[in-house]
A and B are shown apart, each in its own frame.
Chain A
Amino acid sequence: MGAFLAILMRDLRSDLRNRAQFVMIPVFYILAVILFPLGIGPETGTLSLIAPGILVVSSLFASLLALEKLFSSDISDGSFESIILCPVPISVIMAGKITAHWILTGLPLALITPFLAIMLGLSFEIALFSSLIILLITIILSLIGAMIASLVINTGKGSVLLALLSFPLFIPVLIFAAGAIDLAIIGGIGNSIAPILFLCSLTSIALPVVPIICAAIIKWQVR
């Protein structure tokens, strides 16, 4: 637990020092969402109909953009090797890094979501609800993405490969998240319990397993 917190605080501190990097992600998210009304047309009826999809797809793009930075800065300045050599399980280090990454990139997305949802013509409750859904899926996306990011760190062509490998794995999350918000719009928040349970079960499987898989991949990558 001590090592986990130490890694978490270190990553948070080092990332907060160069703000420009993590401010980019929410700005990208806002811009991506704004593109849709401009492209489709400002009719509130149409917009609120496709708002769940817009929000979820844009947050997917934003978290993909963020994934590149998960390991790259540590690897480029060489601090990664010394962190790996710490006398704690690598899975704990990975859990710390993924948590820090989620706090800096996933959490802000969830916090801006209600405002964007209201701009897209959703009601106040649904806006808050979709923020919760985005909160949940950014956790899953960070976890899945961390596995993929750790696979491609040594290839030198990270970004395109990252997109090609992560999107197929992101699709189930996308379907259930957009479905949950859709169902909530149709029949109230209680209506969308099934997709929410599915997302929760995905999270609870991924939470313990992903740090271990990441640790095994990283161990192989930095032999």
Chain B
Amino acid sequence: MFGYANPKKYQKINSVSIMIFTTLAAISLPWGLYMALFLSPPDNLQSETVRIMYVHVPAAWISTMCYASLAVSAFIFLIWKHTLAGLYIRAACTVGASFTAICLVTGSLWGAKMWGTWWVWDARLTSMLILFFLYLGIIALKNAFDDDDNGTTACAWLSIIGSVNLPIIKYSVQWWNTLHQPASITSMERIMNPAISTDFLIPLLIMAIAFTSIFAILVLIRIQNEITRRKIMVKRMQTQNG
């Protein structure tokens, strides 16, 4: 784990993993989209609108998992000062914010059709909106510091403080009986014996793989950019100082 704090060593596996995830996304995204848009049947009650689910649900999974991973790497960064964890926090917060925005927008479109309203102040929706603002807060805090390391440390603290929101999002549909339906896919057991039909489940899982790969590609490229940016900064300082 600590060997990869060396950027040279890390960059080697970084480019390899970008390739792996690109291949994975190139296969799963067209396949998943084709299955979701053409092969899977329209839902009994929701008819064609159910297809929004194949974008909405993976985006929601990614946005919460991304925040959880931010909190974990924040711990790693604060305890061991691991450079890579810091780079991950800086790279993932923007990507996570985008996926949260996708989740909110698709959810709103779906709600407009199925619930007859673009937005309700329901527990799940509100807590996702809070998550979005937490992401924005982390991005703002990151940019508020002149020094990169200080900004990353502040972001790490904020992501740990903000992670109290995660269990609230997860259980909001169980604690409060709200308009948003409770989770259908809760554990591995439920995947084997699902609450939703396999006609919907298989495209959903393939789309989840595709979204996760896209998330990974974006984060890895952003980390790569950050390393390059810092190298340029160091080079520039060296030439300026002769």
Contact = CB atoms under 8 A, between A and B. Distances in A.
Interface of B: 126, 130, 133-134, 136-137, 140-141, 144-145, 150, 153-154, 157-158, 161-162, 165, 168
B145 A220 contact: no
Query: Chain A interface secondary structure, helix, strand, loop or mixed?
Result: helix
A124 interface: no
Interface in A158-184: 161, 164-165, 167-169, 171-172
Contact of B130 (A164, A171, A217): A171
Given A165-B141, A168-B137, A171-B130, A154 B157 contact: no
A213 B156 CA distance: 12
Contact of B153 (A148, A169, A220): A220
A85 to B, nearest CB: 21
A60 interface: no
A41 B134 CA distance: 35
Contacts, number: 47
Q: How would you classify the secondary structure of chain B's contact residues: helix, strand, loop or mixed?
A: helix
Contacts of A196: none
Contact of B154 (A151, A157, A213, A216): A151
B162 A168 contact: yes
Among B126, B134, B158, find the residue whose CB has the most chain A CB atoms closer than 10 A: B158
A147 interface: yes
B133 A167 contact: yes
A151 B150 contact: no
6 contacts: A151-B154, A152-B144, A152-B154, A164-B136, A164-B137, A216-B157
